[in-house]
Amino acid sequence: MSEAERIADQLRRAFEGNAWHGPALREILSGVTATQAVARPLPRAHSIWEIVLHIGVWESVVRRRLAGEVIVDLPPEQDWPAVADTSDAAWRKTLAELARGHQALRQAIAGLSEAQLAAPVAGQDYSVYVMLHGVVQHDLYHAGQLALLKKALT
């Protein structure tokens, strides 16, 4: 297994499960309703839905950077998109889009060479390798937040 395949596997475990740390994103989000996803059980904290959108944004940013797009910073409204439609259908769509984007990112990662991993990310002062480990860490950081928010709702 190549290093890129190992990173893609770590991202898969963080998202789908069978991870050493505990429940993965998909496991944490299982059974969460649209009403729960939009709720704010902790004052001044993001909702589950907002965090899910944020995770999707950054997985997309990493995927786009891998394709050569220069993305330095995001404005707050793109970094933390607002939830406009709070229906059950919109929540299902949000989860489906997160899963599709995640799968596309894993596929993009798995095909990278060692040289590509070592290359700098355009517009950044770190390598592709560091960015990819960072997106895994980002997903896990927010998975912990999601788990606490879900627990606060029950």
Whichever domain contains 88, its CATH number is 1.20.120.450
**Domain tally, the chain:** 1
Domain that holds residue 86: 3-153
- Tell me the C-alpha to C-alpha distance, in Å, between residue 90 and each of 33, 39, 86, 96: 11, 15, 6, 10
With a cut of 90, say whether residue 36 has pLDDT above it.
yes
pLDDT given for residue 1 in this prediction: 83
Q: Give CA–CA dist 63/135, Å, rounded.
A: 10
What pTM was estimated for this model as a whole?
Answer: 0.95
With a cut of 90, say whether residue 139 has pLDDT above it.
yes
Q: Cβ–Cβ contacts within 10 Å for residue 136, how many?
A: 19
pLDDT given for residue 93 in this prediction: 98
154 pLDDT band, cuts 50/70/90, is: confident
**pLDDT tens-digit map of 91-103:** 999 999 999 999 9
